[in-house]
Each structure stands twice: as structure tokens, then as C-alpha cells.
Chains A and B, each alone.
Chain A
């Protein structure tokens, strides 16, 4: 295993609060909400009528929205990193994604005729279609993997990319995630699970992680990408190093399909594994971008996990899902991009709508207003249905000796 640092030389994001990293960052720092009434379909009559949509992307179905999101976020990340001077078989791709749902008119056609649609429909809706698309776009011939672990998908995809770099399998990795869930079938399914906020009269107040009045998460859409390289190679080609990807840990709760263990032990195990992987102590972490979904179940469980690991040391914590909703398979990557901005700019984005902190979520919150803080190491959590947990650590470049 190589002990050389793996650095981030490009980031890209398109989110409900910004068409690129700059605008997304400005919005989360300023506490802007990207949650509005649903426009992708007529949501009248559904128990949930709002979501975190991206206005500028108007694809006809989930697969085409995914492609547009990839287009925007990948272009930004690659423009930032500059040309990657490596052999195509030494550039890998690892993305977090899920299968896309077909458009309703296509579904109707299939049901009417009880027959199969076009091959292309099947292929473009597949879970691994985004990773294949990225590989094609960048001309990658290296390992190409799709991680599908629900809300943990892209956190694990970024982590797998880090491990591949350390093993010397590749010279560069394009990692990230994409998801586009705002459709009638997903709203139906998730609302039946009782997982979504139903604050229909106040969409911008609906996502309120750690607040006593939270009532569920808000479906969102978006994409995030990071370009990973070895430090020496990045320096040799004169690339600007944005941050170091210093640690990754993952675990499984082995608890219940829908719930997190109340004591937060599985999440704590992932956080500890990431710290160990990065060679850091809990006291080294200055900021945590929490999974913070705004569900009654997740937030106290995550709070206990954080307190279990960090004890007396109370790093600042916020959940940017309060601004941009839950991007599901893309959330881990987008929130890793936020952490890159945190260590670069020394500003912590707030949890908005945090009016009354739930006593069961006793953390050092960045409450409603951003905070200036020179953060050396930021940690981001992602936890998924089924009990998958992933934690990543992003460090300010050159903040570590040796």
C-alpha cells in the first residue's frame, strides 16, 4: 500500500442551491433553501408536494436528468483539474448511483402492450449507466465501478476511489455520485414509508435537521464529482491541489432495515475507521458535515454516534441537507465537495431552520448562521437504509506533517 497522500485536484457539483460549486457554496454559507413546490410533475393530491429540484435541468425522465447533471458537474471538475496526463487504463471511475425509474409514458406503453421497450431504455436506466457514461466521456479504460448502497452510495464510491489510488491500481480516479429522484413513483414510495417531510405549507422550512419539529427528509437531485490524484504527480504537473482526501471508513449496522441503532454504534464504527485510516485523533476534527437527514430517527442516532466518538471534544456540526435536501445516492459526494470548500475557505456552513435544538441532538451546532473557523480536517457522514455507513475525512492540504 502506498503511503503517499491522495489529493483532490478538481471538484464539480450541481445541486438544488447552485449550478456549480461556487454557487452551491455561496448558498449553503448564506443559508439559502433550494426546497420549493414540485414542478417536475403535478404533485397535487400527493401527501408531499415539494422537493429540492434543480430548476435549470429539465430532462424528460430520470435518466436524462442524470445525464444533464453529469454533464454539468463533471465538466466543472475536469476544468478545475485540467488535463489528466495519464494513460487511459490508469484512470478509473467509481460512482454512487441507483437505477433510474422509467418515465410514466414509457411505463404506460409497456403496461398497455405488456411488452418490452427499447434496449436503449433499459441500458440508460441501469444503475451502472452513469459510471459508464463518465468513463466514455473522459476516455477512461481503467476500473469502472458503480456502488449502490442507497444514501451511502457516493460516500463509499469516493472511499473506494481513495483505496484504489493507495493500492497503486490507477494514477487518477474520477469519483462521485448522481441521483434524480423527484418523480411520482419515488414520492409515492418514500411517502408511504413515512420518511418524507409533509410540511407542504412551508417547503423552505421543511428540512430542519436536529430541530425538535423535524418530520422527515426532502427528496432532492444533484451530482458531485471529485478528481483524485497522487500528491507527487499533481505537484509535478503543476495542478492546483484543493485538499487532501485523507480517510475513509465504512460499516454495517446489522440492526434493522429501516432504523438506525439508537446508540449510534454502527455510525460510530465508520467514523472511528475513517479516523484510524487517516491517522488522526478525534480531537483533530474541526467540523462534521452530518448526514443529518431531518428524520426523527436519524438525527438523534447520529448525534449519539458523534458524541460516542468525540466525547469532550465537540467539533462543529451542521447538515447542509437543511438547504439542499437529500440527494440520496449523490449526497456523500456533494457533501465531500462542501468539506473541500470548508477546509479551503475556513467557513462553516450552517444548519438552517434549526430553531429549537432537539435535546436528543446535543451537538456543537453551527446554528442558522455560518461561522468562520480555520478547519484543518473535516469529516462527512453518510448513512443508508439497510444500515450502510460511510465516513470520509477531507484535510486542508499541507496541514499534516510527513
Chain B
């Protein structure tokens, strides 16, 4: 797609946080990609291998620990990646932006199963039972926890981001859209800094079922989060500059199938992961 009017500022990546089945940090992931080492593992009850990112250490990251009960898996992964991308940042966050992509559907990992199961009568879900017994068993915070923007909200709250925000939903296309919105926010001067990226957390019962439903059971599914810190070019610690050019349309683009055997298919994060492998990315 052509661009008529250039953005006023050029945008640099000044920090990267990444967590995937290959581990936490750019070096661990880059090494796995460079060496082609598969990080997929068997998962109990699952046919085939999955890219599980493992238990995340949140100690030292959280400023408000009481929110932990509201964290979905996506929130945990995004918090870790965001924390690492912020490493070395000493500026204010009052006007800093957040632009993330999330998986296709809210990460309901089956927490409502008990309530649903209790609402069955004669083999069918009974609305009157759901209103009574089911409701009593329904996790009271689930509706909040599974909203698509909650992972971003936790990053904002834990670190104090108050600037422009956006959450895009969808496949690999959504990852690029989120990066692109963040680039524009920094380039247009609407935010002095922005964290951009995405999170995918489909390695759970519901995620694996949906994955199979899509007919992809033979492709390993993974979970990952990657976050880039963007600042105007010239800021200290510039790692590389983001170019602006083509933008994908609604159709997901398979820019990164090569990492599927290593960390699995990571949905909206797929389109951003190649950055850590030194690949250029047009957004």
C-alpha cells in the first residue's frame, strides 16, 4: 500500500522482551532459531507436541500483587515481556503508549466448566439451573479476566502507562496492526514512547480444542509474547529502526512459518517474532 504523507518522526526499537517455548529473553530465542533447536514438548492429554513457555517468574515484576488473581496466562506472559522491554527506561510513563494484539478469543481456560457441568439436566444445558446452581459456581471474576484488553490493562496498571492505547484482535495480521499503531503514535508525537507487540496463549484445554477445530491439529501450537519498546530515532540504546511500508489486509500472512517447528504456531505473535531473529519487518 502506498503512503502519501510521511510520518514526521522516524521510529527506533530501543528494547525487546520476549518469552516463548525457547525461553525468556532475546538471546535464548535467537539461539534456538539460529540453531533450529526444537523447544516443543509433549503435553499431557495432547496428541503431538506444543510450545509451552513454562512457569513464569513474576517476582520482582509486580507492583500490585493483589491483582495476581485476575491474571490470565496471556497477562502473565505479556507482563514478563513488557517488563523486559522496559529494561533501562528511566523516563516518565504518563504519556507512554501501549498497543498490543491478542489471541482470537478471550482466554477462557475452562474455569467455567464446573458451573456449566452443574447446569446440565437430561443431557442439555438448563437455563434455570444456570441461573441458580450454575451461577453459584461461576467464577465471579471470569467475565473481567477474559476480556481481550485485560492483559494490556495489567501492564498499564503494574507499570503506570497512561498514554494512548489499543488492542487489536485476530490472527497474525493483528500483531502487525498493533505494531503499526504504536509506530504511528510515536512517529506522530502522540506518545514519547510506546510498547507494542502481542501475546498468544493457546496452550490450554480450550485453546488446544479450538486449534484442533480449525483443522490444525498436526501443526504444533505455541504460546509466546513479544514486546518492543519504540522511541523516536536518536533515543539512546537504539537497536534498529522500524520501516513503514506495506500493511497486510484482513488475510493473515505466514511470514514466520519457519519458527513453528521451534516454538510452535503463536498466532498474532507470529508476525512479530521474526524481529528477534534479525529479520527486517515492514509494517
Q: Please list the residues of chain A having a beta carbon within 8 angstroms of any beta carbon in chain B.
A: 1-2, 41-47, 89, 93, 97-99, 104-105, 107-108, 110-112, 115-119, 121-123, 125-128, 131-132, 135, 141-150, 152, 156, 160, 163, 167-169, 184-186, 188-193, 249-258, 266, 269, 273, 384-388
Contact = CB atoms under 8 A, between A and B. Distances in A.
B268 to A, nearest CB: 10
Contacts of A116: 209-210, 212-213
B139 to A, nearest CB: 8
A386 B143 contact: no
Interface residues of B, number: 75
Given A99-B104, A141-B249, A163-B184, 9 more contacts: A93-B250, A108-B123, A116-B213, A127-B148, A143-B247, A185-B130, A250-B166, A257-B70, A266-B162
Given A104-B125, A126-B104, A145-B177, A386 B168 contact: no
A232 to B, nearest CB: 13
Given A122-B213, A127-B105, A387 B156 contact: yes
7 contacts: A128-B104, A128-B169, A143-B177, A145-B170, A189-B143, A258-B144, A385-B149
Contact of A386 (B5, B131, B147, B169): B147
B120 A2 contact: no
B142 to A, nearest CB: 6
Contacts of B279: none
Contacts of B165: 149, 156, 250-252, 388
Interface of B: 1, 3-5, 7-8, 67, 70, 93, 98, 102, 104-106, 112-113, 115-117, 120, 123-125, 127-128, 130-132, 134-135, 138, 140-144, 147-150, 152-154, 156-157, 159-171, 173-174, 177, 181, 184, 188, 190, 209-210, 212-215, 247-250
B130 A386 contact: no
Contacts of B140: 192-193
A148 B128 contact: no
The 8 closest A-B pairs by CB, nearest first: A386-B153, A168-B4, A189-B143, A45-B131, A116-B213, A144-B250, A148-B148, A127-B169
B236 to A, nearest CB: 25
Contact of B168 (A132, A145, A192): A145
B127 A257 contact: no
A137 to B, nearest CB: 12
Contact of A89 (B1, B209, B210): B1
B249 A144 contact: yes
B249 A142 contact: yes
A141 B249 CA distance: 6
Nearest to A187: B131
Given A42-B127, A44-B128, A111-B117, A167 B170 contact: no
B282 to A, nearest CB: 14
Contacts of A128: 104, 169-171, 174, 250
A167 B184 contact: yes
Contact of A150 (B1, B4, B147, B154): B147
A190 B166 contact: no
Nearest to B159: A254
Nearest to B151: A386
A150 B149 CA distance: 7
A218 B143 CA distance: 16
B127 A184 contact: yes
A254 B69 CA distance: 17
A369 B46 CA distance: 61
